[in-house]
Structure 1
Amino acid sequence: MLSREKTLDALLELSGRTAAHSRPELLASALRCALALTDSAGCVMVVSPSRSSERHILLRGADVPTIADSARAQGEAARPLIHDGKPVLLADVDESGRVGEDDRCPGVDAGPALFVPLRVREQAPGYLAAFRARGAAAFDAEDARVLSLLAAWTAMALENLRLAQNVEKLAVTDDLTQVYNYRFLKGALRREIKRAGRYHQDLGLLMIDVDNLKSYNDRHGHLRGSFLLREMAGLFATHVRSWDLVAKYGGDEFTVILPQTDVAGALAAGERLRRAVEEHRFPLAQAGEITVSIGVAAFPGDGQTTSALIENADRALYLAKQQGRNQVWYKEREAA
């Protein structure tokens, strides 16, 4: 029987923090509990979040699991339990003849082994396995019950984490363009201004407005215009750095936050986006028909608050539109 102390430790490990866990942390917690609750030398969890499978391996005494990719979701020992949904207890992994390299625990000279199914929604079936050193006592029905309960908890926690991440993404993502929304933009810009001020760094901001979108919508309908905005958002994402942030500001306007970028760098980034849009062939549009006007502002010279930076970038955008569109402007001068 499990000791009271082990049970309490496992409950403390699993309870109260699952919503804050990342996926690797959640799986690591489950493996640590599996080691403690089954008194094992090593544990393996196989999950399939994509087409390939992942094997998370934790040995007694290790701090974090190792992760290995595997093209195979299941080996010989795992296949029956995945199909039948019942635990598999093996007195000796070598004598059973069912445990190949795909099902073993690297780093453990295992004798007894216990496999239980792990079924996560919208994923291929996996398993949780525990291994004891050769010569140790075999696993019994109580071990199988406890490990099965832990696998069920893990499956539920993974599903809850997936749902929470989806909700979080929906909360900060513009549904139409799939880039960050205005709500997220305000918080992100506030954080970047604070960081730039703390480390005495530059920060650039672009305000982008789509030219001629109204006439495009009048000819082809607002649904086509929505598809165009989504395509344009993807175009912006491919022409900025990985640490830059593209967000929908509202209507047909976008904003790009450019960390560690001075005025000259922001003007260059704006010109790169302007040219990318001008040269892109959008559906049902003539070459060069769809363009963007861009206004530039920079921290700290153009403001040290979110509202000041946005106001100055918006003023520059107005000048770009006023001077003929398809231009990048900073204050009262056009980008070279």
Structure 2
Amino acid sequence: MPDFLPSLDSLAAQQAAQRLDRLTKPPGSLGRLERLAVELAAIQGQALPQVSPPAMLVFAADHGVAAEGVSAFPAEVTAQMVANFAAGGAAINVFARQHGAHLEVIDVGVATPLPEGTADSPRLVDERVRLGTANMLHEDAMSRDEALAAMVAGRRAAERAAAAGCRSLIVGEMGIANTTASSALLAALTGASVEGLVGPGTGLDAAGLAHKRDVIERTLAARRPDPADPLEALARVGGLEIAAMAGAFLGGATHRLPLIVDGFIATVAALVACRLRPSLRDYLLFGHRSREPGHEGALAALEARPLVDFELRLGEGTGAALAFPLLDSACRLLVEMATFDDIGIDPAP
């Protein structure tokens, strides 16, 4: 983990705000888009920020708690979806091509063998810490050292993105049963009731939801994660890809990259990272509001207002990718729109 994060640049923010007020429009008439432009300037330390090209980092890992039947899909789907990402066939691949993004799929803990040929994909990075987490109902999901190792893998991915010239970071995930781990982790960190956090994930019915809640409640009673020690909570009831996302957020912030947070699982990862480094919150932009009920609690814990609400619950970074054009528009507004001086008009009444 970084020892400190750079502070927001108040001068760059002031310069961006002043330019916005000189553009050929009534002051403040573009609402949140203008505030977003100022926020981006403060994060990047540039009065004229730039978020293109983005990096899209998808972290994949399995969860031992899947053995309790908490997902509508078997654990083997994680490896199958990693192969789909590597081949370019998933939703996030579509958005990566649309936005000219640098896309990596980082295996930090896929438990089953990847389909033949997947490892040859240039998109796939092997950072496997262990073969999935343990079944957290019966033992800690991982050790503190393994949680830290996954965070370091996430930070390395952010470092690669910065070295490749990327100007913003979209972080996504894939892991069967990771809504179970995220719900347990969110309940542990916030004290919220499990009942209000648990959603259908990949498509559970009412009986499946009740079972999922029961597994999480029994897990929390058995593991007793300490909310004052976010790394311990992460190790006891979290996931390897959740840890890696937390590390990627922290790593991206050290390079002043705007961090576009995806849905429920990514927001829980961001909450873990903020509990470790509270100043990270300044770098987080929340892409969308997921249909997963726990996302509302995670957003509230971070006092976050997402940019869009398309009723998504896919993951992969797709909601953040859909929000990316808003950031790009905010930057282009500052750079490309004429000022009153440019067209020889005095806006004063």
Q: Tell me the TM-score normalized by structure 1.
A: 0.22
Identify which of structures 1 and 2 has the higher relative contact order when contacts are C-alpha pairs closer than 8 Å and 6+ apart: 2
Q: Which has the higher strand share?
A: 1
Bigger radius of gyration:
1
Q: Tell me the TM-score normalized by structure 2.
A: 0.21
Q: Which has the higher helix share?
A: 2
